[in-house]
Amino acid sequence: AWTHTARFLTTASRLDQLPAHELPEIAFVGRSNAGKSTAINTLAQQRQLAYASKTPGRTQHINLFEVGPRDAPQALWADLPGYGYAAVARQSKLRWQEVMARYLEIRRNLAGVVQMVDSRHGFTDLDRQLLSFVAPRIGNGEVKLLVLLTKADKLNRKEQAESLRRAQAVLAELSTDEADIGITLFSSLSRLGVGDAAETLQHWASQ
Ligand code: GDP
């Protein structure tokens, strides 16, 4: 599998610092603490891959990883800053919202967005807002979306079904081709949904 060979490429605090690239890029987004770093590490089968994104000074950066064999990389993964963290100053929040909005709107090689949503809380206003930035490109088939309902191990079967149903209702509002949107209950702990998610990402990169 490609996933064994993911490596850190670069970090950027501004969009113009991101290298232009031909490879399909997959962006990982989510509220801070939604389980994004853990999910990236799990999907890459590398415990420390998204660790760089958590080091002080880099939490407000876009961290770029290259995935696949070194001589034939298959995709880029972009770990976007977690949003909604209460301790971040308002100015800095606004700036980052703008950077993320612009990234999602204009990044040329963006092929897919993986949004981490805590399965216990469901979509928040911020999650919906973030989705709205990229919704036009999902709508016209340019970008695909995969929603991971994270930490599903914390819910029982009935709660899991309910969480999935609610999130699906939110996504239905996007009124796009269903083929461009995926959603799965996900747990890095129990590995629920990990295989499906990995398969989806691989599929996006090979299109
Ligand atoms: P991030 O801020 O979105 O990158 O979130 P992290 O990946 O750092 O995870 C936030 C917290 O949730 C940490 O304490 C993780 O150990 C925990 N966590 C992440 N994924 C899971 C999961 O699948 N199950 C459970 N029970 N906890 C998780």
pLDDT of residue 4: 59
Q: Which two tokens stand for residue 166?
A: 């609610």
Instruction: Answer yes or no: is pLDDT of 186 > 90.
Output: yes
Q: What is the pTM of this model?
A: 0.94
**Topology of domain 2-205, per CATH?**
Rossmann fold (3.40.50)
Decide whether any atom of ligand 1 lies within 6 Å of the 35 Cβ: yes
Average pLDDT over residues 156-179: 91
Domain ranges of the chain: 2-205
Angle between helices 36-44 and 194-205 (to 10 degrees): 70
Q: Tokens 């800095």 label which residue?
A: 92
Any atom of ligand 1 within 6 Å of the Cβ of 74: no
pLDDT digits (tens, 9 = 90+) for 47-72: 777 766 666 656 678 999 999 888 88
**How high is the pLDDT of residue 47?**
73
Cα(72) to ligand 1 centroid in Å equals 31
33 in contact with ligand 1, CB cutoff 6 A: yes
Task: Out of 38, 43, 53, give the residue to mutate to test ligand 1, the one with the largest number of ligand atoms within 8 Å of its CB.
Answer: 38
DSSP characters for the chain?
-GGGGEEEEEEESSGGGSPP-SS-EEEEEEBTTSSHHHHHHHHHT-TTGGGGGGSTTTTTSEEEEEES-TTS--EEEEEPPPB--TTS-HHHHHHHHHHHHHHHHH-TTEEEEEEEEETTT---HHHHHHHHHHHHHHHTTSSEEEEEEE-GGGS-HHHHHHHHHHHHHHHHTT---GGGEEEEE--TTT-TTHHHHHHHHHHHHT-
ipTM over 0.95: yes
- For 144-159, the pLDDT digits (tens) are 999 999 999 999 999 9
